[in-house]
Every structure is written in C-alpha cells, then in structure tokens.
Amino acid sequence: EDQVTQSPEALRLQEGESSSLNCSYTVSGLRGLFWYRQDPGKGPEFLFTLYSAGEEKEKERLKATLTKKESFLHITAPKPEDSATYLCAVQAATGRRALTFGSGTRLQVQP
Amino acid sequence: GAGVSQTPSNKVTEKGKYVELRCDPISGHTALYWYRQSLGQGPEFLIYFQGTGAADDSGLPNDRFFAVRPEGSVSTLKIQRTERGDSAVYLCASSLGGTGADTQYFGPGTRLTVL
C-alpha cells in the first residue's frame, strides 16, 4: 500500500527565515511525486512534479528535491504570503492514476 | 483559460437525503478525478474517469456513492441516504490523461455538511 508521511505537521517561521518541509514515501514504483499548495477554503494548487531521484525544481522562493525515499520542499527567505498548507502526493507506476496524499504541513510565516 | 469548476460551493443537507455534486473539468482534459478531504487531512481518492468510463472506482466507500460522466466532460458525484460521516470537502481534479505522470489540477471543492 502506498504511503506518504509529511513532517512537521505545522511550522511557524519569521519572515526571511529559511526552512525545509519533509515528505517521506513508500510506493510500488514511482511514476511521479507532486507538491501542491492549499490555502484555506480553496482547492490544492499545483507547484511541482518530480519523476526520479536527484531531480530538483525551483519556483520563486521554493525548491523541491527528490531521493528514493523522500522529498524536501525548501523555502528560502519566506514571506507572509507563503503561509499555506503544503501537500505532497505520489502516483504509483502500477497503472493506478490516483494520487496518495500526505496530511500536509501547515506553514505560517510571520512578518 | 478557465480552471476546474465545481457547484455548489456549499451544500447543507439532512441525514438520509440525496445530494448531487457537479464538476466541470478543464476543456480538453480527458481524465477526471474525485477526492474527499476531511479537516486536517490530505485528499483521499474516490474515483477516476478516463473519457466516459469509470476506470478506477476503488476509493468509493460504499454503494451509496456513485459518479457519472456521460459525455466525457462534466461529471456528477451522487450520494444517496447521506450520513453525518459524509460531511467533508469533495474535490474534483482533471488532467490531460497521458501515459506519464500528468498533472492533476483541482477545483475549489464543494463543502458538504450533513446535519
């Protein structure tokens, strides 16, 4: 059974204080690992797809990395508008298209 | 272009009633997904359509839940004899439906409250 565990559950940062969110996964062959951002009352917003170990992707203050067992979302010099829940999900290579999500990390960036 | 839309945004119903939730996918997307999200949790998969057919309905919790996509575009999730435990946000997503890890784009969700 595919599993995704995210840590920490919640993180409070000061503006400009860089940090990393962790996503540990077990999957029967990885088709892709996805990062989403979710604001309160909204649907998940796509950020990145990673396909294989060693891959990295960047967007503004966010950088996602992938190993064979985990992914990290690095946030550099965060701003208050980066406050949101960040969700990690995996899609198995078995042919099943469903995403398996973690419970998310709630990030709060204080000015 | 327009994203995934869902209606209604909120639905309050009484225990035992029937409800329908609608999803309009992104134009040109052949794959459509339904997920359910409880407070403080990530979305949980319910059902996946490729075109008009349900390719994977393994996430539907029981036979009170049913979904259709008759013309390969709009989809309706139907819940019979609602129970208080059905209260959650129901999310719809669509994707191009390619063979690789194609990205699923989510709608805003329908918040269902069963009293």
| Segment B14-48, tens digit of pLDDT | 999 999 999 999 999 999 999 999 999 999 999 99
Residue of chain B with shortest Cα separation from A39: B108
Q: Residue A98 and residue B41: Cβ atoms within 8 Å?
A: no
What residue has token string 């839940």?
A: B65
Q: Cβ A104–B42 below 8 Å, yes or no?
A: yes
Round to whole Å and give the CA distance between A104 and B41: 7
pLDDT for B44 equals: 98
Chain B closest-CA separation from residue A80 CA (Å)? 21
Question: Is it the case that residue B98 has pLDDT exceeding 80?
Answer: no
Q: How wide is the angle at C-alpha A41 spanned by C-alphas A43 and A105, nearest 5°?
A: 75
Give me the percent of chain B exceeding a pLDDT of 90.
91
Distance CA B80, CA B74 (A): 20
Burial class of residue A104 in the structure, from the number of CB atoms within 10 Å of its CB (0-12 exposed, 13-18 middle, 19+ buried): buried
Nearest-Cα residue of chain A relative to residue B107:
A43
Q: By three-state DSSP, how is residue B98 classified? A: coil
> Cβ of B105 and A100 within 8 Å?
no
